[in-house]
Structure 1
Amino acid sequence: MSKADYVYGVLAEEIRSARIPGGTALRAAAIARRLGVSVTPVREALRRLEKDRLISYEAHHGATVVDLGDDALEEFYGLRAVVEGLGARLAATRITPEELDWLRELHAAMARDAAGGRLDRLGEQSRHFHLRIADIGGPAFLGQHARAVHDSFPVPATASLWLDPGQVPHQIEAHEGILDALERGDGAAAERLMIEHVRRAGEHRRDNPPTG
C-alpha cells in the first residue's frame, strides 16, 4: 500500500462513517502531521476523494467535506431500495444452498447478538447481509453498484437503526422474511421485503438525526 493509498483509506473511512462530519475543512498539513506522512500523498488522496464526491474545493477555503442534506438522504435510501430490491429478486432465482446457508448463519449470529444486547455489532453484519444478497443476485454488475451506493453517503455510527432496541426485532424479522422468500425462490416477495426494509431504515434516519 502506498502512502497515498493509506491516507485515502483512512480519510475515506472517516468521512463515510461521519467521524469527520460534513462541512469540515480538511487541511493537508494537519492531516499529514496526524498520519505521519508528507503533504504530497495527502494532496493525492484529497484529489481522489474529490473524484469520489466526498469532498469539494472552494476558493479561499480549500478542501471541505461535502455536507449532504435531506434531499440527498432520500435519494440515497431510494437508490439503495431499487438496487438492493433488484438484487434480492434476482438472488431468489440464483441462490445456491451453500449461499443460503451462509446467509442463515449470519442471520443466526445477528439474532444471538441482538438477544445478548450486542447491538453495536449489528450494523456491520447487516451491511454484509445486504451486500452478499446483491452479489448473489448480480455478480457481474449489481454487487459492485450496491457497494458504490453504500460508500457514497456518510453514515454516522449513531444513525443506525440497529442501535435502537425498539427497532431491532422488526429488522431481524425483516431479514428472516427476506431469507424465507429467497429459499422459496419467490423473487417478487424478496424484492418487496427488501425495499420495505431499506425504506424503513431511511425513515428512521430521517426522523432520528444524530446529535453531537
Structure 2
Amino acid sequence: MSKGPVDPKLRGETAYARLKEEIATGKMMPGSRVREVEIADRLGVSRTPVREALRRLEADGLVTHAPHMGAVVATLDHSAVIELYAMREILEGTAARFAARHASEVEIQDLAYLVETELDRAEDPAALAQINRAFHSALYHAGHNQFLLKALGALSDAMILLGGTTLAVDSRSTTAHEEHMAMVKAIAARDPDAAEEAAREHIRNAQRVRLKLLRAAMVDNH
C-alpha cells in the first residue's frame, strides 16, 4: 500500500531541526550565506518547508539578513557574548537555586550520574560537550519552573551561535567537572545559596574561556 503525501508541516519541522543542528555543529558557520535552493537540494525537499524553517530560525535569532548578501547565519559580537553570559549566569544560578529546593532524589542522582560520566569522556571534547548539554538540561528541568525553563530554552538557542565547546581548551574539562561536582553537592545538600553561587562561578569561568577563544579567533583572522 502506497503512503499518502507527507504533511508539509512535518517537512518544515524536519528541515528546521536539520538546519538548527548544522548551525550547532558548525556545518553552517556564523556569517555564512543561507540559500533556499541549495538547502532544499541538500535536504531533498521543496523550497516551501525550507522557507518555513528559515522563518523559524530567524525568529530564534539564528538567521538574520545582511546587506547585499541576504539571509546569513547570525553572528555574536563581543558585546553580545558578554550580554549572553550575563543572562546565563543569572538564569542558571536561579535554576540551581530552584533545583536545591525542588529536585527529586532521582533527579539529583541523574545529575550526579552525568557528572561521573564526564570522567569517562575527558579525552573526547565532542562527547564531553554532549554530556555537558545533558547535564545543564537536567539542571534546568530539576528547577521545576516552566517560565524559567522557557527563558533558558531561548538562551540555549543563542548559545548555538558560539560555535565550538570551551571544554576543548586547556584544562577546562577538568575544572568544569569540578564545578559540576560542586553544584550537585550543594543541590544534594539542599543548600540554595551554595548551589546558586556554584552555578554562577561555573558560568563566569566558562565566559573567561569563551572570551579567550574569541580573542584568539580575532588574531587568526587578521
CA distance in 1, matches of 2:11, 2:103: 40
Structure 1 residues 16 and 118: CA distance shift in structure 2, 3 A: closer
**1:155 equivalenced with 2:162 (yes/no):** yes
Q: Is the 8 A contact 1:17 1:155 kept in 2?
A: no
Letter in 2 for 1:149: L
1:137 aligns to 2:143 (yes or no) = yes
2:116 is the counterpart of 1:121: no
> Hey, what does 1:31 align to over in structure 2?
39
* Corresponding residue number in structure 2 for 1:90: 98
Aligned-residue sequence identity (percent) comes to: 32
Range moving further from structure 2, 64-73 or 8-17: 8-17
Q: Select which of 167, 171, 174 maps to 1:166.
A: 171
Letter in 2 for 1:134: Y
CA distance in 2, matches of 1:55, 1:34: 18
| TM-score, scaled to structure 1 | 0.90
8 Å Cα contact 1:4/1:41 also seen in 2: yes
* Shift, 1:58, TM fit: 4.5
Residue ranges of structure 2 left out of the alignment (5+ in a row) = 1-8
Kindly provide the CA deviation profile for residues 178-210 of structure 1, in whole angstroms up to 9, marking residues without a partner as x: 111111111111101101101111110111235
> Normalising to structure 2: TM-score of the pair?
0.86
Say yes or no: does 1:48 pair with 2:56.
Answer: yes
Q: Which residue of 2 aligns with 1:16?
A: 24
Task: Report the RMSD for the aligned CA atoms in angstroms.
Answer: 1.9
Q: C-alpha deviations, 1:72-104, integer Å up to 9, x for none?
A: 111111111110100101111112221111111
Inter-partner Cα distance in structure 1 for 2:28 and 2:181:
34
Partner of 1:207: 212
Displacement of 1:17 after TM fit? 3.5
Report the AA paired with residue 97 of structure 2: R
The aligned amino acid for 1:37 is V
Amino acid at match of 2:70: G
Separation of aligned partners in 2, 1:118 and 1:44? 35
* Separation of aligned partners in 1, 2:174 and 2:74: 34
Q: Matches of residues 184-203 of structure 1 in structure 2 within 5 Å?
A: 184-203=189-208
Residue 133 of structure 1: how far off its partner (Å): 1.4
Question: Unaligned 5+ residue runs, structure 1?
Answer: none
Q: CA offsets per residue over residues 92-139 of structure 1, 9 Å max, x none? A: 11122211111111111112222xx23321111111112211211133
Find the counterpart in structure 1 of residue 77 from structure 2.
69
